Each structure stands twice: as C-alpha cells, then as structure tokens.
Structure 1
Amino acid sequence: MFEVTTVHIMIRLTLATVIAGIIGSDREYKNRPAGIRTHILVCLGACVIAMIQQEIAAQNVQFALHHLAIATTIRSDQARLIAQVVSGIGFLGAGTIVVTRHKIQGLTTAASLWATAGIGLAIGMGYYQIAVISAVFVIFVIVFLKKIIHINTLKKIEIKYKHKLETKEFIQTYFEEHHIQIRDVNFSVTQNERDTIYTNVYRIEIPREMQYSEIVEDISMNKNIMTIRMVSI
C-alpha cells in the first residue's frame, strides 16, 4: 500500500476520463439518457473516492509503523463516514433527475453532485492534491468538454401525414437538402372514415450546425403534415 502521489492522481484521473468518455460517447451517439459527460463525471467521482480510501489505508499503515506501542489499542475506521456520504449523496442526486414522457433530464447534474461530494471528502480529509486536481478535471468536463467534443446524436422522429407520395417525397427531399442521414425508418398506416393516415418513424442523424427545433418547424409547415414529434429512442 503506497501513498497517492501527484503523478498517480494525474494518471488515474486521465485514464478514468478517457475510458468513461469512450463508453459515454457511444451512449450519447445513440441518444441514451446518460451521455459522455455523465459517464465521465461518475467515473471521476468513483476514482476520487477510491484514491481517498487508498490514502486513508496508507496513513493507517504509517501510523501503525511509527506508533507500535499504541497501535494495538486503537481501532478506527475512517472510511465509515465516507461510505455514508457516498450512499447519501445518491438520494440528493436522484432528486435532480426529471423523467418526462419523451426525455430524461438532470443526469449530468446528479453525476456532478456525486463527483463534487468526492472532492469535498478529499478536502475535508486534507488530501488537497487529490481535491484540486480532481476539481480541474470535473470543471473541464462540465464547462469545456461539450464545446470541444460534439457528437451527432441519433434522434427518433415520428411524422404523421396524408397524401402518401407527395408528402413522402417532400420529407425525403428535405432530409437530403439538409444532409440529414436516415439510419432507419418504420412505416404504419391507419384509416378512418375520412382519410388514410401514414405514420413514419425515422431514426436520423442531425448535422452539427442544425437544431432539432428547426426540423420540426420546417416540416410542420407542409399542409399534409398532421403531427411531428420526437419520440424516445
């Protein structure tokens, strides 16, 4: 068991960021609730707490070696309160997650709370190197990562329309003109007394410079479009 040095802290946090980023990028591309930042923040928080635990163990060993006379009479578990904080912060984080019909919000906030709790533990225990370096990584992920790395996430959009050939051609032309890639499409048809309603559910990849709201607004302008909305992927 050895003391956690600055080099160890940097290597571990960097590795945690890279590995969690790779996993999170796949989830973000597929438009899952937890994306790249959420994965990195959770991994960083776990890494911080693990380093604190190792530092505690190293200090206990050093204490025992230097105070052999009293080491056998002292029983202490310094990590006990840390465990309570780690589990307790989960309830606070859960309160920031909002689940709606088509979207989950607040996962990154919950993850940042958990990572921040780990940093607070490091400060409280006096492990300032762990706290400061970890804080730099967490702040970088929250503030700058989204600006540096942009992943074109998949969106699932449902369009209900009338007049099949005319409207389908309009939708296809719109996607081609705006460089929207269609990854998958499902069709269904319903009939009522007045009209035949066609429903297409597209899984699309939107270009970086384009907003989802633009697509909804533009396509909804067509007179044959009855409903357009994003659905859970």
Structure 2
Amino acid sequence: MTQLDWPEILLRLGTATLAGSAIGLNRDLHGKPIGLKTLGIVGLSTATVVLLAVQFAEPGKVTDAASRVIQGILTGIGFLGAGVIVHESEHFRVRGLTSAACTFLAACLGIVCGTGQWMIVAVALALAFVLLTVGRRIERWLHRMLGGRDERHDVESGPEEHHV
C-alpha cells in the first residue's frame, strides 16, 4: 500500500484542479458552454478517485482496481461530454465538440495527476494550449492552402448550424 503524505496529496489534487481550470478558462474566454469551474471540478474529481485507487497499489504500480476506476471515469465523462454536445431544439444540432473534448482532456489530466506523472501532465497541457490558441488559425490557413471549402469547419464558431 502506498501512503501519500499531505504535500503530495495537495500537489496532485491541486495540479489537477489548476490544469482543468486552465483549460476551462480558455473555454470561458471563448464564450463556450463549459468553463473554469466545471473543468476544474472535473480535474479535481478524477484525480481524487484515482488517488484513492493508487493508495491501495504497490508504489509505482497501477493495479487492476485502479485500471477499472480509470475506465469508469472515462466512460462517465463521455456522458458529460455528450450533454455539452447535443442540445434539443427544432432539430438536433451538433455544437460544443471542442468543449466536450476539453472535458475529456481535463478528466485525463486529472487521472494523470492522480498517478503523479508530472512530465506527462506538463507536455499534454502545453500541447492543449497550443491547439486551443492557434488551432483555429492553422485550420483556416490549411483550408485556404489546400483548397478547402470557404465555410468554417469549426461548428462551435461557425455561423451555420450543422443539423444531424
């Protein structure tokens, strides 16, 4: 059994909360339906459950029980993401895909923080911010360069609704 001390617990849970909140801040700043508090809580909650599962493992090992916890988290997050994506109105329309993906990422970062793999957290968070900050501009540039359609493919920011 791994016994974590207070500073390590604070580091793991705090980092998961901050990582999720940072991704949520990006969503907030873009006026999207999920934000800082929600994704901070997603990161914190997933790290909390993984930390509990890791407590019962041998140091440095992920047990079958921890693996099942992680699988359950990722399945549950899928439902939360689906709620962000599909809204019922006249027609069903698909919106919020990036916010749903950010929810999934916040959960994954929470899981990784719970296991204490800091290099993975740092690289994943850095890559996420690159995508969230310049991804849309790169996408538009590539569409122009490769002869793509003029309409936006990013359904969250596009003026047109895509009906399913």
More helix by share: 2
Please, what TM-score do these two structures have when normalized by structure 1?
0.34
Please, what TM-score do these two structures have when normalized by structure 2?
0.46
Bigger CA radius of gyration: 1
| More contact order relative to length (CA 8 Å, sep ≥ 6) | 2
